[in-house]
Amino acid sequence: MHKNAYRIIKIFNKLYPNPKPFLRYHSAFELLVSVILSAQCTDKRVNKVTPALFKAANTPQKILKLGKKGLIPYIHSCGFFNQKAKAILNASKSIIEKFNGKIPKTIAELTTIHGIGRKTAGVVISQAFHIPSFPVDTHVFRVSHRLGLSKAKTPDKTDYNLRRAFPKKQWIPIHIQMISHGRALCTARKPKCSVCPLLSICPEGKRRVKIA
């Protein structure tokens, strides 16, 4: 466990008391599709387009039936719609062929699905199945490095460090709270260190405030 783990948990619980997934979904498959759509797109935008899409097709079989031409009008506004349609169709095909249409519950199995990496797999198992995981996106990577929780160069190695830094039962809420913090205060450009409650235990914050 990291020496600051409990202080970070306490501060995050005060700042973000109700950590809930940002994407809206009713099944693991819907979540997987939403995560694919969220690449280079806001969760807000994804949540706007998915109700109509999932009304039309909310299983791998129905998505395949819809096909690329049928899928694109629903996801067009999320950007990169050609690649995203292809990714959703390929993943649907894999899920049917390898797992009989059901989303598996382990990272090892999920990452055998076409186009699904460790981060997406981690989001699916933690948020759809409530199995502790620590997926590392750009916010989690940035915030955890600034807080001195990892020095790893890759998201996969950062994920390993974070799983050792915090108790397992905290992984799911802390992951969501770290994303919230990366959006609210610890932004990529101009983090608001001077008003951040983590400043006294944050190496990067102290460095920045001294410089400012």
In the structure encoding, which two tokens stand for residue 56, read together? 């039309």
Catalytic residue among 62, 93, 119, 210: 119
Alpha-carbon dihedral of residues 26, 27, 29, 33, nearest 10 degrees?
30
Minimum Å gap between C-beta 165 and ligand SF4 is 14
Is residue 137 annotated as part of the catalytic site, yes or no? yes
The reply to whether 9 sits near ligand SF4 by the rule CB under 6 A is no
In the structure encoding, which two tokens stand for residue 54, read together? 């999932």
Give me the helix-helix angle, 28-37 and 81-99, nearest 10°: 150
Q: Is the Cβ of residue 96 or residue 199 nearer to ligand SF4 in the bound state?
A: 199
Minimum Å gap between C-beta 186 and ligand SF4 is 3
Of these, 147, 174, 176, 178, which contacts ligand SF4 (CB under 6 A)? 147
The reply to whether 28 sits near ligand SF4 by the rule CB under 6 A is no
The reply to whether 15 sits near ligand SF4 by the rule CB under 6 A is no
Is residue 156 annotated as part of the catalytic site, yes or no? no
Give me the helix-helix angle, 60-75 and 43-56, nearest 10°: 130
Q: Is the Cβ of residue 170 or residue 180 nearer to ligand SF4 in the bound state?
A: 180
Catalytic residue among 55, 137, 192, 210: 137
Cα separation, 131 vs 35, whole angstroms: 17
| Structural contact between residues 49 and 73, judged by C-beta atoms closer than 8 angstroms | no
Task: Show contacts with ligand SF4 in window 169-198 (CB under 6 A).
Answer: 185-186, 191-193, 196, 198
Cα separation, 124 vs 117, whole angstroms: 11
Nearest 5°: CA angle at 63, between 43 and 99? Answer: 95
Catalytically annotated residues: 119, 137
* Residue ranges binding ligand SF4 (CB under 6 A): 143, 146-147, 185-186, 191-193, 196, 198-199, 202, 204-205
